[in-house]
Structure 1
Amino acid sequence: MTVTEQRGAYRPAPPPAWRPRTDAAPLLPDEEPYRLLGTGAELDEKLLRRLYEELVRGRRYNQQATALTKQGRLAVYPSSTGQEACEIAAALALREQDWLFPSYRDTLAAVARGVDPVEALTLLRGDWHTGYDPRTHRVAPLSTPLATQLPHAVGLAHAARLKGDDVVALALVGDGGTSEGDFHEALNFAAVWQAPVVFLVQNNGFAISVPLAKQTAAPTLAHKGVGYGMPGRLVDGNDAVAVHRVLAEAVERARGGGGPTLVEAVTYRVDAHTNADDATRYREDAEVSAWREHDPILLLERELTERGLLAEEDRRQAAESAEHLAADLRNRMNEDPELDPMSLFEHVYARQTSQLREQAEQLRQELAAAEEADDAQEKNDDERHRGEAR
C-alpha cells in the first residue's frame, strides 16, 4: 500500500534548515548620512581645491543655463543648483575608461566629465536627441525618461566584464526614478550578474511635486539595495568630499569584482523642478532657506578656510573661471544653429533600414523642390524689380 493510499497517514518530512544566502548586516547603510567636512578627518588638499573650483563653475553654469531658458535659447532646463556636489563627485570618481550614465538633470556631471557645455544642452535646446558623441567622453545620452538609463548601464558593464575590459559604469538617477520598474530591473540584474556598476540616487526631496514620503515607506532609499543583495550606502549629498569618497570606493569595489553598490546621496533641489514648474505650490520658503545654510559650496568654503587653503585670490580665480565659462556658453548659445534636415536620418542605425532610406529620399526630393521654388521666386522678383526700374 502506498502512502497516498493510507488516507490521513501521510506526514510531510520537515524541510531542511533554511538560512539566508548572505548575511544582510554588511549590506545595511549607516544610520546617519556619511560625512567628512567639518569632522577633522584627514583629507586630500588637492581634491578639496579641485572640488571647490568645479562646484563654483557648476553653480555659475546652472545660473547661466536657467537665464537662457528665460531668453528663449533653451526650451527647458532642469537645474541642479544645490546638488552640484553629487554631480561633480560622480564625474571625478571615474577613471577615463569608465562610463557615466546621466539623467536629464545631470548636464553638470556631463560637463565635468569633459562634454562641451553647449553640446550638453543640445537636447534641452530641442536641436538633437543628443548633441555629443557618447563614446568621446564615455558619457551616455542624457535620459529624459525616468530610470531607463539604469538597465543600459548594467548591460554595458556586464558586457565589458564578459569581454575582460576594465570598465565600471556609474548611473545617476533621482529619487523619483526609484519608483520606476526600470530601477528594479536594473538593480536585480546587476546583483545577479555581479555587474561592475554603481547606482547613485540623488535624493533631492521631490519627484517634481511629490515628496519622498509619498513614494516609499523604506527607511532610506539606500536600504533598497539589501533587497537585491547589494550594499547600500547613505551619504550627505552636499558634502562633496564624502560623496566622492563613497563613490570612489564603490567604483573600485565594482572594478575588483565586488559587484554593484546602491548609493543614496541626501541633497536638495533649491531651484524648481524646471523653469516650467512653480515650486511654491508644494514647499515652503523656510524649507528652501534651511537647505541654503547647508549649501555644498558654503560647506567647502568653510573647510578650505579653516585649513588655510582658501585665500581671496583663490576665490577670485575660481569666480573668474566660472564667469569665463558662463560668457562662452552665453555667446555660443546666442548663435542660431545651422541645422541640416537630412541629419534626422543619421545615428539611428549603423546601417539604415529600407524605410529610412525611402524616407530620406522623399525628404531629399522635397528639399530640392523647395530650393527650386525659392530660386524661381528669386528670379521672378529680380525680373520684376528690373522692370520697375525701367
Structure 2
Amino acid sequence: MTNNKIDLLFTRYLAPDGHLLGELPVWADDFNLLTRLYRQLVLTRMFDQKAVALQRTGRIGTYAANLGQEAIGVAIGSLMRADDVLVPYYRDIAVQFMRGVCMEEILLYWGGDERGSAYAEPAVAQDFPLCVPIATQALHACGVATAIKIRGEHRVVVTTCGDGATSKGDFLEALNVAGAWQLPVVFVINNNQWAISVPRRIQCGAPTLAQKAIGAGFHAEQIDGNDVIALYDRMAVALERARAGKGPVLLECISYRLGDHTTADDATRYRDAEEVKQAWLEEPVKRLQTYLVGQGVWDEGREQALVGECQQQVQAAVQAFDAAGTQEVASIIDHVYAKWPDALAGQREDLLERAARRVGGDQHGQ
C-alpha cells in the first residue's frame, strides 16, 4: 500500500487574523524585538512599492517585488551573524537590508549598474549578489559551505530560492552534496505558490517541497511564511543546528506572491482574482500589526510615525540613486572574466573606442 503523505513539522503561532494559536516561545515576550521586526516589514514593503513605481516610469529595469513575502527575508536577516554568508536569489531585498546593503545599491543593481553589487558595508563583503539564474546559487552555497567546513569555522551559509527552483537539477544536486558532506548550509524555500505562471500543484507532484531534503539525508520542515514569529523561531533553530556541525537544514516557508512575478509579468492573465483576494487576508504585515495592537504595544500614532520614517529613508535612497550618475561603459564587461581572453580583447577595445567617440561627439555638439 502506497503512502504519499510525509509527516513534517509545520510551525505557526499567529493565525491570519493575528490571534494566537497556542503558547508562544519564550523569546516572543520581547516586544522590542517584535516591534523591530514589524518596522522592517513595513520598510521593506514601502521600498518595494517605490521600486515598482520607478520601474513603471523607466528609471530602473525589470524588478522582482516582495509583496506578501517580506516576513521570510526579515526573519533570515535578523538572525544571521555578520560572519555568516548569504547566497540569495532575486527576491531577497529584505535580507539584504538587514545585512547592511544600502537601498540605493539595490536600486543600482536593478538599474543595471555594476556598482549595485559592490557593497559598501564591510559586514556583507562576502555575501553573494542577487542571483537571477534559477537554482544555480544553491550549488554556489554548497561550495562556500565546503570551504567553511574545511577551515573548521563556526559559520553558516544561508541560501534561498523560490518553489520553482526546487524542480531544477542544480537544486537537487546541491541537496545531495550538502547531505553527503554534512555541510553547514541552511536552504530556505520561499514557496509563494507560483513559478512565474505555473502553480505549485502542477510543477511538482510531491506533497511537500521540504521532503526533497529527506532523500538527501537531512532535516527538513515547513513554516507558515506569513508568520514572522514562527519564521524567526525555526530559523534560529536551523542556524544553530548548522553552526553546531549537525549538518544542513531545509525550511519550506509557505507564503503567497501577492503581485506579479516581476514587473515584466501580468499575473491577471493566469491567476484567479478570488485566490489573490483570499491570500491578502493572510499576508504577514497586517498579521503582526494586529497582534501588536492587541498586545497594547502598537497604535495608530506609532504607525503613522513609522510610515513617515520609512518614506524618508526610501526617498533618501532614491535621491542617492539619482545622484550616482552613469557608470563607465567598460563596467559591463570588466567583471566577466578574471583575465580577459585574447580572442575577445579586440572587441573590448572596440567597445571602449566607440564609447570614447560617442562622448567626444556629445561634448562637441554642446
Global fold match (TM > 0.5): yes
Change in 2 beyond 3 A, CA 1:194/1:129: farther
Partner of 1:244: 232
Tell me the CA shift for residue 368 of structure 1.
4.7
**CA-CA distance at 1:240 after TM superposition:** 0.6
The 10-residue stretch of structure 1 (41-50 or 337-346) with the greater mean CA deviation from structure 2 = 337-346
Equivalent residue in structure 1 for 2:306, among 293, 302, 318: 318
8 A contact 2:220–2:251 mirrored in 1: yes
Match of 1:272 among 230, 243, 260: 260
1:29 to 2:15 alignment: no
CA contact (8 A) 2:105 2:119 kept: no
In structure 2, the CA distance between the partners of 1:296 and 1:152, relative to structure 1 (3 Å rule), is same
Matching of residue 149 in structure 1 with residue 137 in structure 2:
yes
| 1:51-130 mapped onto 2 (5 Å cutoff) | 51-128=37-114
**Counterpart in the other structure of 2:17:** none
Counterparts of 1:208 and 1:268, CA distance in 2: 12
Q: Please say if 1:289 is aligned against 2:277.
A: yes
The 10-residue stretch of structure 1 (178-187 or 285-294) with the greater mean CA deviation from structure 2? 285-294
Q: Aligned in 2, Cα 1:293/1:369: closer, same or farther, shift over 3 Å?
A: closer
For 1:16-41, what per-residue CA distance to the aligned partner results, in whole angstroms no more than 9, with x for missing partners?
A: xxxxxxxxxxx9522xx311232341
State the secondary structure of the residue aligned to 1:274.
coil
Distance 1:310 1:152, change over 3 A: same
Structure with bigger gyration radius = 1
Percent identity (aligned): 37
One of 176, 180, 185 as aligned partner of 1:192: 180
Return the offset for 1:365: 4.1
Give structure 2 stretches of 5+ with no counterpart: 1-5, 15-19
1:226 to 196, 211, 214: 214
State whether residues 47 and 314 of structure 2, in contact with CA within 8 Å, keep that contact through their aligned partners in structure 1.
yes
Measured on the aligned residues, the alpha-carbon RMSD in Å equals 2.4
Partner in structure 2 of residue 15 of structure 1: none
The answer as to whether partners of 1:28 and 1:232 remain within 8 angstroms in 2 is no
TM-score of the pair, normalised by structure 1: 0.83
CA distance in 2, matches of 1:110, 1:75: 19
Tell me, yes or no, if the aligned pair for 1:73 and 1:334 is still in contact at 8 Å.
no
| 8 A contact 2:108–2:321 mirrored in 1 | no
- Relative to structure 1, the CA distance from residue 263 to residue 111 in structure 2 (aligned partners, 3 Å threshold; closer, same or farther) is same
Counterpart for residue 156 of structure 2: 168
Partner SS for 1:264: strand
- Alignment partners' CA distance in 2, 1:287 and 1:223: 26
> Structure 1 pair 139/361, CA: closer, same or farther in 2 (3 Å)?
same
